[in-house]
Amino acid sequence: MRVNIDIKTRMVTLIGTPLGQSFAARMQNAAYEAMGENMLYFYTEADSEHLGAIIDGVRRMPSFAGCAVTKPNKVRVLKYLDSLDPLCAKMGACNTVVKGEDGQLTGYNTDGLGFLRSITEEARFNMRGARIFCLGAGGAGRALCCISAHAGAAKVYVADVDVESGKSLVRDINGRFAPVAEFVPAGDYSKLRECDLVVNATGIGMGSTVGRSPLPPEYIAPGGFYYDTCYNPEKTQFLLDAEARGCRIMNGLGMSLYQGVVQIELWTGRDAPVEVMRRELLDILSERECAERIDLLCKPA
């Protein structure tokens, strides 16, 4: 992929930490190249300490079309924006910022839309009437729990070690979407067996926490459906444990794909090349798998 940067190049950056596991830049830049768009997507690894200054830079620098936002900034970014898309406002979390010609910044949430499209089209999962158990009430958990309630879920259980964060999400779902949410204290897995879908939205299992899971394997209900918002590694410990107990599993690759599709359409005003983006993501996974096998072969016995 060739990247030619000139004075007319429009920039988009992903703000968050950690970002070492992200495939977003390659996926997005492959799409821009296929579209003939003079745009560049790159990473800015930062936590909330300097978030306001970074967002102000996006606002003031003419080359920026906007930015993407990930952990731990999806909720904190809201106070730096000028307006919110109605769905984003109801969710209370933002992962996409679009800059208007006047420098005004508008927040959107494409995570929930990406999750719903992925699980509906790729897993043939019917959200209407479903019972969901979500581990994690941060930005990703908030988005998928809200969109689940919006799409007709009968019950949404929210579990988080941060009690106030979890209860806040429950209040927002019940007040803004539908009265279907219930907070579950961390470590209480008694509701798991009655659920159609169990989601890991904690981020545990990627980056420095590879090999760990937020759910003890003995609580996994055989035959259930387990979903992890992480996609690198392809199978987190959460998914490996579920697979070992005969469960259907799915990672967040499709969620990443489809949320990126919506982002590109917001930043460019054009249809995104979905299959180009999917191929790029699959190529990255294939390359990672090949590299891991080579590393294993090269290790001394």
Question: Are 69 and 16 within 8 A, CB to CB?
Answer: yes
Other beta carbons less than 10 A from residue 27's beta carbon: 23
Q: Of 82, 90, 126, whose CA–CA distance to 107 is shortest? A: 82
Q: Is 295 exposed, middle or buried (0-12, 13-18, 19+ CB in 10 A)?
A: exposed
Q: Is 208 exposed, middle or buried (0-12, 13-18, 19+ CB in 10 A)?
A: exposed
Which of 71, 74, 90, 99 is the catalytic position? 74
CA distance 228 to 221: 16
Query: Distances in Å between the alpha carbon of 216 and those of 186, 189, 192?
Result: 12, 9, 12
Whether 74 is a known active-site residue: answer yes
Q: How many CA atoms lie within 13 A of 239 on its CB side?
A: 20
The kind and range of the H/E element at 115 are helix 111-121
Catalytic residues: 74
